[in-house]
Structure 1
Amino acid sequence: MSALTDLLADWMPGQRWFAGKGRTWASVTEDGFFLDQGTPALSVHRVHVTYTDDVSETYLVPLSWRSSQDDDLAHAYVGAVGDNHAYDGMRDREATVPWLTHLVAASTVGPLHFHPAGVAYIPEGVPGDLISGEQSNTSLIYGETAIMKLFRRLEPGLNPDVEVHDALRTTENPHIAPLLGHVQIEGATEGEEPATVAFLQAFVPNASDGWRLATSSVRDLYAEADLHADEVGGDFAGEAERLGEATAAVHRDLARVLPTADVGTDWYGELATQLTARLDAATAIVPELAEHAEGLRTLYAAVADLTAPVTAQRVHGDLHLGQVLRTTTGWIVLDFEGEPARSLAARRELDSPLRDVAGMLRSFDYAARHMLVEQPGDPQRAYRAQEWAERNRSSFCAGYAAASGTDPAGSPLLRAFEADKAVYECVYEARNRPHWLMIPLTSLARLASS
């Protein structure tokens, strides 16, 4: 390995966006080029990691280069190669300017191709400020007008976030932030499709994160020991209903501008098989799931018996309260890339819109119960959490029904999607936050017995 690949092999496992934590590397290679040769210089690298189980991943790593160490950038320091010092190019503000400069110019630099959408102003010459807390990707806010998401793990093909936003441009849907442009990189091998590197869209200033709004409402309820959820000043039900309406509006327009397919009994059968297989795999990882397995298999078997026609379509794929923003005029839905852990092909598959509804219902359960993690033995709080969750889940479904003409509440398909999401959550919590495992397990006890 070269000095740079050695450096990256030491640095990458400590980054939040790196998905291979704890895995043993068999080999690592990189190819890079300069996007800008000013001061600091900015290079872009594709880092190809192969693990000992023969699984491989490719990551995008921008690096800024300085001739001496900068104490103000100590938090972004990667290491030295000879007399040159490398920094995380997304944390070095001066090094973030070239991205939008090239996008405005529709440049081609090495294997990178910049594609402005040509519909709105792109701020040029402005540095980007890193959004903290992200994991699978890295985002920069440029002033108050644009936000760029850098896709760290590269896969051949157009990322759904770009594809969906581009398609929705013609609908003028008020619940979408406009696409401003995207960046692609040529395939690493001959014949391989370009991969999406970055995505720029309009930034929504003065907006409130859906998760924060919902959890503030829960805290208000907990603080009022004698009041019900509909009596608290911070009641969220009205917002939940409007969010349901916004979700239905997005689904309607997705069906207008992207492919759909009528599916029936075969689709139900295949889905039930997939759900059961995921349950079996998860139970091997989370033994606590065994208590609910029989009820869940019964729930999934009921899906296999369904016969009502379904129109499958493109959906969000990872909808939850952290993916929506409340502005002064309404809700904005973000991040249409789907679950990053799934393959790009899987994220582009047609599905039932109820998959997204289920994701949001699960998020309401999480918002209601996240404070119980620290006080699991408080029956009064547990009752109030359930009350808040039921009220807001019902309000969301009511809003969705009013806007779509179809009431999702009570659907066996919706319950199955909810259960599948909760099973996934059990695996995630068991691996990352074992003390949070009680949240999806509580929900599964309800779903398995329904």
Structure 2
Amino acid sequence: MSDAAPSRRGATRRGTPPGPLLSSVRAGSATAVPRPEADGSGLLGSLVPLLSEWLPGQRWFAGKGRPITGFTLVAATELLPHTTGGSAPGLLHLLVRAQQPGSPTGHPGAPGPSGAAGPAVHAGTDDCYQLLLGVHDVLPPHLAPALIGRPAGGPLHGRAVYEGLADPRLAALLLERLRVPGRLGPLRFTREEGAVIAAGLAPKMLGAEQSNSSVVYGETYILKLFRRVCPGTNPDLELPRALAGTPCDRVPPPAAWFEAELPGADADPMTLGVLQPYLPGSADGWQLALSALAVRADFTASARALGHATAEVHGALAEALPTVVLRRPQLEHLAASMTRRLDAAADAVPALRPYRAALGAAYDELAALGRAGRTWRAQRIHGDLHLGQALRTAQDGRWALIDFEGEPARPLAERCRPQPAARDVAGMLRSFDYAAAVGRATATTWSARARAAFCEGYATVREDPREDPRLLRAHETDKAVYEVLYEARHRPDWLPVPMSAIRRLADPRAGAAADAAVDVPADAAAYRQAPATAAERPGGATGPPGRPDHEEPE
């Protein structure tokens, strides 16, 4: 059905004169709108009712479960002007802050009637989101699912406003901007020296969103657009660029990117999007593992090769970027941070409380080693490594690693901080446990053999992570504790999966028996039926590939 009729989300008024639609919008303008009615005639004021309804339904919106109390327009840029009465669409780029209150005061994460954790406690936020809004007088039928609404006033009055990435004409415009570097208002488009980007590549927006949005161009390039943005270079641009200058070819190098440079002496550019080579036909490690489990095939060779590839990337990052030595103060701080997360999780999840002391001992031991003079090297790492972040390419069957953004909900400064490589290793080891649960193999040795093979492959390039069992145990415990908190809040049926790891980490003898007793979640079959190629799922598995499929702040 065409969008010729007015949307229920905004009334259409006749008599708006033709002409440039956004002539009143200047790039880089900022308007504070604490209430929808505060600026009803302006651009943002007219969009507030639509965005208040649309944003919370987006997969990448981080503030679910809390009301939006206001918006601030950080910048508005016309990438493609739209003239009223014309047949061509317009494209408007917005950076908008969404204000949300903190949770009510009370006991953090208090358990509900079922014993699961209560709502997360958040401080108030004003996250900045990147929006690409298409503008059309009459929305073509094939774009009807992308409709956001029709503003009842302001410069977009009565026009159809929709998700611009869903329109191939507008998605193609983004590629053209990246092909021809330059500036437009606060936006700066940059192409890597020597990169050749062909014109006319057909765009396709990928439907399986996670914390970002992606568009594939002609099975040649993939553009990742970061939805929640902040000042500073995103690690998903910084780290692949650094690796591009090394012999390591395990990470697709950026071909182009774009940023926002906003007024203010202390404002660093915001990374908005990165264009990288696309790996057609590749499959991610999560689906490969599940496919092997479905037919009870051995996965150790693949896990060993993945460990080798991970160590190559870690080694190249250590060569390309500065490293630091973690001494007593840093190790005590690391252990204290882990202990705080454990205490918060145990307060929220009753099932975790019997294991608090045994799990905390792993962190205490780490701090004690620092006091005894033990040191560890820290470096830049992936930061969110799991099976869904590894692709086995169709061309040569080699592993590649993707999505170096880290955990998007964590502050950028934290994601850019050097950390022990053991954190990445621990994330992958947890991913094998989740795959075994989904593949109904928790009572077998599948996970243990895959974990061992991964470490063996890693040891062919760098030090075997098992040679530092206390550092590895601390990081794996920290990851499992986070998983327990997440599953208790969002998917109680999945809680037995990380709790099995908790029992093993607290007492290795009990852990082996606990693995045999794990109740596989009722919806595990749905994850086995998820799309099998990375083309359909650019950021990882639809389900939990060793981490919750949506990160949230602590």
Which of 429, 434, 437 is equivalent to 2:487?
Answer: 429
Q: Distance in 2 between matches of 1:271 and 1:186?
A: 34
User: Could you tell me whether the CA contact under 8 Å between 1:9 and 1:28 is conserved in 2?
Assistant: no
- Residue equivalent to 1:43: 92
- Residue equivalent to 1:378: none
Query: CA, structure 1 residues 35+257, in 2 after alignment: closer, same or farther (shift >3 Å)?
Result: same
- Residue equivalent to 2:528: none
Give how far 1:189 is off. Answer: 4.9
Give how far 1:350 is off. Answer: 0.6
- Residue equivalent to 2:109: none
User: Could you tell me whether the CA contact under 8 Å between 1:100 and 1:123 is conserved in 2?
Assistant: no
- Residue equivalent to 1:75: 145
Q: Distance in 2 between matches of 1:57 and 1:351?
A: 26
| 2:315 is equivalent to residue 252 of structure 1 | yes
User: Could you tell me whether the CA contact under 8 Å between 1:123 and 1:145 is conserved in 2?
Assistant: no
Q: Distance in 2 between matches of 1:157 and 1:124?
A: 30
Q: Which amino acid is the alignment partner of residue 287 of structure 1? A: P
Which of 186, 200, 204 is equivalent to 2:279?
Answer: 204
Q: Which runs of 5+ in 1 are unaligned?
A: 222-233, 373-380
Give how far 1:238 is off. Answer: 0.3
Query: CA, structure 1 residues 52+441, in 2 after alignment: closer, same or farther (shift >3 Å)?
Result: same
Query: Matches of residues 213-252 of structure 1 in structure 2 within 5 Å?
Result: 213-221=288-296, 234-252=297-315
Q: Distance in 1 between matches of 2:264 and 2:221?
A: 32
Q: Distance in 2 between matches of 1:407 and 1:416?
A: 12
Give how far 1:83 is off. Answer: 2.6
Deviates further, 271-280 or 91-100: 91-100
Q: Which amino acid is the alignment partner of residue 315 of structure 2? A: R
Q: The residue matched to 1:444 in structure 2 has which SS?
A: helix
Q: The residue matched to 2:97 in structure 1 has which SS?
A: strand
User: Could you tell me whether the CA contact under 8 Å between 1:113 and 1:185 is conserved in 2?
Assistant: yes
- Residue equivalent to 1:32: 76
| 2:94 is equivalent to residue 19 of structure 1 | no
Give how far 1:69 is off. Answer: 2.5
| 2:443 is equivalent to residue 383 of structure 1 | yes
Q: Which amino acid is the alignment partner of residue 283 of structure 2? A: S
| 2:501 is equivalent to residue 443 of structure 1 | yes
Deviations 1:145-183 (A, max 9, x none): 100100000110000111101111111312111210111
Q: Which amino acid is the alignment partner of residue 20 of structure 1? A: G
Q: The residue matched to 2:150 in structure 1 has which SS?
A: strand
Q: Which amino acid is the alignment partner of residue 15 of structure 1? A: Q
Query: Matches of residues 110-259 of structure 1 in structure 2 within 5 Å?
Result: 110-187=185-262, 189=264, 191-221=266-296, 234-259=297-322
| 2:413 is equivalent to residue 413 of structure 1 | no
| 2:362 is equivalent to residue 299 of structure 1 | yes
What TM-score, normalized by structure 2, do the two folds share? 0.75
Q: The residue matched to 2:228 in structure 1 has which SS?
A: coil
Deviations 1:232-256 (A, max 9, x none): xx21100100000000000000001
| 2:438 is equivalent to residue 370 of structure 1 | yes
- Residue equivalent to 1:354: 422
User: Could you tell me whether the CA contact under 8 Å between 2:465 and 2:472 is conserved in 1?
Assistant: no
User: Could you tell me whether the CA contact under 8 Å between 2:455 and 2:464 is conserved in 1?
Assistant: no
Q: Which amino acid is the alignment partner of residue 336 of structure 1? A: F
Percentage of pairs with the same residue: 41
Which of 450, 453, 473 is equivalent to 1:395?
Answer: 453
Bigger Rg, structure 1 or 2: 2
Query: CA, structure 1 residues 188+282, in 2 after alignment: closer, same or farther (shift >3 Å)?
Result: farther
Q: The residue matched to 2:165 in structure 1 has which SS?
A: coil
Give how far 1:409 is off. Answer: 5.3
Deviates further, 345-354 or 261-270: 261-270
What TM-score, normalized by structure 1, do the two folds share? 0.92
Give how far 1:188 is off. Answer: 6.0
Deviations 1:184-219 (A, max 9, x none): 002365532111100111111121111000111122
Q: Distance in 2 between matches of 1:199 and 1:310?
A: 33
Q: The residue matched to 1:332 in structure 2 has which SS?
A: strand
Q: List structure 1 runs of 4+ shifted beyond 4 angstroms.
A: none
| 2:332 is equivalent to residue 332 of structure 1 | no
Normalized per residue, the structure richer in strand is 1
User: Could you tell me whether the CA contact under 8 Å between 1:370 and 1:439 is conserved in 2?
Assistant: no
Q: Distance in 2 between matches of 1:341 and 1:56?
A: 13
Deviates further, 281-290 or 71-80: 281-290
Q: Distance in 1 between matches of 2:465 and 2:287?
A: 27
Q: Which amino acid is the alignment partner of residue 319 of structure 1? A: L
Q: The residue matched to 1:305 in structure 2 has which SS?
A: helix
Give how far 1:267 is off. Answer: 2.2
Q: Distance in 1 between matches of 2:293 and 2:263?
A: 48
Give how far 1:22 is off. Answer: 0.8
| 2:51 is equivalent to residue 8 of structure 1 | yes
Give how far 1:122 is off. Answer: 1.7
| 2:156 is equivalent to residue 58 of structure 1 | no
Give how far 1:370 is off. Answer: 1.9
Which of 362, 365, 383 is equivalent to 1:317?
Answer: 383
Give how far 1:371 is off. Answer: 4.1
Deviations 1:107-148 (A, max 9, x none): 211111001112332232334212222221001111111001
Q: Distance in 1 between matches of 2:458 and 2:257?
A: 31
Q: Distance in 1 between matches of 2:449 and 2:322?
A: 34
Q: The residue matched to 1:20 in structure 2 has which SS?
A: coil
Query: Matches of residues 262-301 of structure 1 in structure 2 within 5 Å?
Result: 262-301=325-364
Which of 133, 152, 162 is equivalent to 1:87?
Answer: 162
Q: Distance in 1 between matches of 2:359 and 2:454?
A: 24
How many residue pairs are counted as aligned between the two chains? 428
Q: Distance in 1 between matches of 2:289 and 2:397?
A: 18
